A and B are shown apart, each in its own frame.
Chain A
Amino acid sequence: MAMSTPNSAVLVDWFERLALLLAWAFVIIVFGAVRPTTFLTWANFSAILGSQAVLVVVALGLTLTLTAGDYDLSIASVLSLAGTVLAVLNARNDVPIVWAIAAALAVGAAVGFINGFFVIYFRINSMIVTLGVGTFVHGVTLWLGNQETISGISSGLVEAVIVRRLFGVPLSFYYALTLCVIIWYVFSYTVLGRRLLFVGRGREIARLSGIRVDRLRWGCFIVSGLMGAIAGILYVGTVAAADPNSGLSFLLPAFAAAFLGATSINPGRFNPWGTMISVYFLVTGITGLSILGVSTFIQDLFYGGALVVSVTLSQIVRGREERLT
């Protein structure tokens, strides 16, 4: 009877942790071999890194609530609302950009507060509450922006998001990276992070252990709303306009990234590095396919296929009873 030795178990564990990074490297090697002069350029990687900050921030926001065992389906609507609030204040009412950003962040936190209120006080499933609140927020966004795409945003914001660069990469990437580092630190090195993990794994056990479960969950909703608002600010800074509808299309890719990220780095846990790497893994694949000139439907096949295959392989390799929910 074959038995796995401790060494092989360690190897499997490390392989699992690094699987997504290895898959990313594999994708880079394949496309680099096919199109070395265009794909393997710093300009290409700079464009890949600099253009996905919005998706990374939305996915990181989801990672927070998912870790606490909740869903926040309103985060993409918050993105649109925050962007519209910023644009209406700054472009239409000449409010200085700093105050407009502060207002957008406050609106994001307020939506998170409302989500938390209904989930915690009325004990309603977070999926239902955030679906309803998200739809309501979308209506508010359309009303507030008069259903228009608003341009004329202060050039200072655009400068600070995609025009200014560090090592050739737009600053938006570093903002997303900073948020990732903060969340990783909180999850890995603080009592708060540990408690959050307990809450997500077993709410009742956490409660019986003396953890203030409701407060933690509520806090996660507020921070998730804030993350949605930050994504909205980055989005407006990227496209130099606020579109009331576009934010919604980030929701499913962000969930895909969060779930894919949970198969790596800290397998079985929603984790910020896994989430960030999965965004760039998927986008690198799509960029490579675009450079090869394939149709967008092939890109969908890659996106969806990569998610399902990765999660399945992760479960097979681990062979553990715990499953992602």
Chain B
Amino acid sequence: MKRAVWSGSLAAALLMAASAAMAEGPEATRAAAQLAPYRQLPKFEAPGEAFDARACMKDKSILSIPASSAVPFLKVIETSMAKVAKDIGFNLKEWENQGQPTQWVQGIDYAISNKYNLIDLLAGTDPRFLEPQVKAAKDAGLKVMAAHLTGFEQPPPGGVTGVVPIDYKRAGALLGDWAISKTDGNVNALVLTVNDVLSTDSMVSGLKEEFAQCPRCKVNYINIPILDFATKTQTIVQSALTADPSINYVIPLYDVLSQWVVPAITITGREGQTKITTFNGTPFAIAFVQQGKIEMDLGENLDWIAHGVVDAEARVLCGLPMVKDPHIPLYIFDKANADTAGKPPQPSTGYGDAYLAGYRKLWKLQ
């Protein structure tokens, strides 16, 4: 009798599990499979062959011009790059600026007149606005690299020597996959794009490809110019939620926008019904994940980016082949692991430290 009950229970459990598996549609299963690798702690993958970075970089110099020194995300990368350069033993200087293209022009002129070897246009210093200056620098024998600006499939912009790309298309696709897997393919999403930023094209193409494979998904894209972030984001999201209360996901492409999306959801009384999934892994946004205000933030390790950019640019200066994929990983932060980023979250924390030893070995520093 006891055995019959046990067998019956097992059969019921198996039946329930099978039903649950069958209940999940193919879109959700596919999306969950796409996400799975990005839930694992990132592993270091060498972007190229090992080389003696200290020997080849000892008389080289790089001037790095970030999109704006006032942007926290960029400041962290610059600080890390300076630390890496010191470790390798070459001169890397940040051109401090407040995001004005005229200051970028000044920086390029400074690099030319002070005989730097390479100009690094970092994460938003758009070479399309600097074509004459980029040409002048190249004519003077400098290399000009655009880092953390374009996706793998985007051509080098503005006549630069090369790019250090990021897999933005994958990042966009993963944001879509998250919503698809969580709703079993019944997404009604509002996507907030920032068309001023070149990487947006790549992210949107990734998102569109994923949603194209989800027949029941509905997506509305709204562009918010950078200048309007603080004044319009909240109003636009509130209006969209009022116009269509069935929106179940808001996807700001960059997590800086989430600070205005969160109050929009609160004010319209959509907490718990409309979720947020976003990209960048900025500490304040991971704190929102810890508090349950953002469901998922796809993070990128800023220190890892710094290592990847220095590696790719050192290879250019050392005459090695251009890096096609710097293997800078993406990592999912949700409620389950957000605390690993620290409390309060810290930059470059929670991603493991496999890359530190990896790069030192790659550069023959140990």
| Chain A residues within 8 Å of B, Cβ to Cβ | 35, 38-39, 41, 43-44, 46-48, 50-51, 55, 91-92, 142, 146-152, 162-163, 170, 238-241, 243-247, 249-250, 253, 283, 286-288, 290-291, 293, 295-296, 299
Interface pair B243/A43, CB less than 8 Å apart:
no
Cβ contact of A243, chosen from B222, B230, B244, B264, cutoff 8 A: B230
Closest to B226 in A: A249
Q: Is B159 an interface residue (CB 8 A)?
A: no
24 CB contacts below 8 A, A to B, read A41-B242, A47-B267, A47-B268, A48-B238, A146-B72, A147-B70, A148-B72, A151-B287, A151-B288, A163-B266, A238-B263, A239-B260, A239-B263, A240-B259, A241-B284, A244-B70, A249-B228, A286-B235, A286-B239, A287-B235, A290-B236, A291-B239, A293-B243, A299-B232
Given A162-B263, A170-B267, A247-B230, check contact A290 B235 (CB 8 Å): yes
The 5 tightest CB contacts between A and B, nearest first, are A290-B239, A246-B230, A151-B284, A151-B287, A149-B284
Chain A hits for B282, CB < 8 A: 149
Cβ contact of B235, chosen from A245, A247, A283, A293, cutoff 8 A: A283
Q: Is B60 an interface residue (CB 8 A)?
A: no
Cβ contact of A47, chosen from B224, B238, B285, cutoff 8 A: B238
Q: Is B256 an interface residue (CB 8 A)?
A: yes
The A/B interface has a contact count, at CB < 8 Å, of: 120
Given A149-B72, A149-B284, check contact A291 B243 (CB 8 Å): yes
Chain B hits for A39, CB < 8 A: 242
Q: Is B340 an interface residue (CB 8 A)?
A: no
Closest to B344 in A: A152
Closest to A87 in B: B284
Q: Determine the distance from Cα of A51 to Cα of B71 in the docked complex, in whole angstroms.
A: 25
Q: Determine the distance from Cα of A47 to Cα of B222 in the docked complex, in whole angstroms.
A: 19
Report B231-250 residues with CB < 8 Å from chain A CB: 231-232, 234-236, 238-240, 242-244
Q: Determine the distance from Cα of A239 to Cα of B233 in the docked complex, in whole angstroms.
A: 11
What 0/1 pattern do residues 54 to 84 of B give for CB contact below 8 A with A?
0000000000000001111001000000000
Q: Determine the distance from Cα of A288 to Cα of B236 in the docked complex, in whole angstroms.
A: 10
Q: Is B165 an interface residue (CB 8 A)?
A: no
Interface pair A296/B228, CB less than 8 Å apart:
yes
Cβ contact of B239, chosen from A246, A250, A287, cutoff 8 A: A287
Chain A hits for B358, CB < 8 A: none
Chain B hits for A148, CB < 8 A: 72, 283-284
Interface pair B284/A50, CB less than 8 Å apart:
no
Interface pair B242/A249, CB less than 8 Å apart:
no
Interface pair A295/B223, CB less than 8 Å apart:
yes
| Chain B residues within 8 Å of A, Cβ to Cβ | 69-72, 75, 220, 222-225, 227-232, 234-236, 238-240, 242-244, 256, 259-260, 262-264, 266-269, 282-285, 287-288, 293, 344
Cβ contact of A43, chosen from B229, B240, B264, B269, cutoff 8 A: B269
Interface pair B284/A35, CB less than 8 Å apart:
no
Q: Determine the distance from Cα of A270 to Cα of B239 in the docked complex, in whole angstroms.
A: 30
Q: Determine the distance from Cα of A143 to Cα of B355 in the docked complex, in whole angstroms.
A: 30
Closest to A247 in B: B230
Interface pair B266/A162, CB less than 8 Å apart:
yes
Give min CB distance, B99 to chain A, whole Å.
9
Given A147-B70, A243-B259, check contact A296 B269 (CB 8 Å): no
Cβ contact of B259, chosen from A44, A91, A146, A241, cutoff 8 A: A241
Give min CB distance, B253 to chain A, whole Å.
15
Chain A hits for B220, CB < 8 A: 293
Chain A hits for B259, CB < 8 A: 149, 239-241, 243, 246
Give min CB distance, B280 to chain A, whole Å.
11
Interface pair B236/A296, CB less than 8 Å apart:
yes
Interface pair A240/B262, CB less than 8 Å apart:
yes
Interface pair B72/A249, CB less than 8 Å apart:
no
Cβ contact of A51, chosen from B235, B288, B293, cutoff 8 A: B235
Give min CB distance, B189 to chain A, whole Å.
14
Interface pair B344/A35, CB less than 8 Å apart:
no
Chain A hits for B232, CB < 8 A: 286, 296, 299
Interface pair B225/A296, CB less than 8 Å apart:
yes
Interface pair A149/B224, CB less than 8 Å apart:
no
Interface pair A35/B70, CB less than 8 Å apart:
no
Interface pair B287/A152, CB less than 8 Å apart:
yes
Interface pair B243/A38, CB less than 8 Å apart:
yes
8 further interface pairs, Cβ-Cβ under 8 Å (given A148-B284, A296-B224): A38-B244, A149-B256, A241-B259, A243-B259, A244-B70, A249-B228, A283-B235, A291-B239
Chain A hits for B344, CB < 8 A: 91-92, 151-152
Chain A hits for B228, CB < 8 A: 249, 296
